[in-house]
């Protein structure tokens, strides 16, 4: 339910509501494990997943696909540098 609310905010361009919801992330234990060998790799994989889903929501909301993919690439590249 939380995830759906977040992505609905992205789709509808409701930045302020998104930021409020984002600050109250539910128990991280409910998130999937995408790498059992490295906590950092797991966090990066989850970040890439969230960026991908947010990109899709933004495009469904009307953001031009070239802009959405460019932003997605920039966020993923930034994430990988950490």
75 alpha carbon, distance to own chain's centre: 10
**For 13-43, what is each residue's pLDDT tens digit?**
999 999 999 888 766 555 677 667 888 888 8
**Cβ neighbours of residue 65 under 8 Å, at least 6 residues apart?**
59
- The pTM for the full model equals 0.81
Q: Residue 29: what pLDDT?
A: 54
For residue 17, the enclosing domain spans: 2-80
pLDDT at 22: 84
């Amino acid at each position: 339910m939380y995830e759906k609310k977040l992505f609905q905010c992205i789709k509808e361009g409701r930045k302020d509501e998104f930021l409020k919801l984002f600050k109250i992330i539910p128990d991280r234990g409910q998130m999937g494990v995408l790498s059992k060998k490295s906590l950092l790799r797991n966090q990066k994989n989850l970040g890439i997943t969230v960026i991908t889903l947010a990109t899709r929501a933004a495009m469904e909301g009307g953001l031009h696909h070239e802009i959405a993919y460019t932003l997605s690439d920039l966020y993923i590249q930034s994430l990988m540098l950490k």
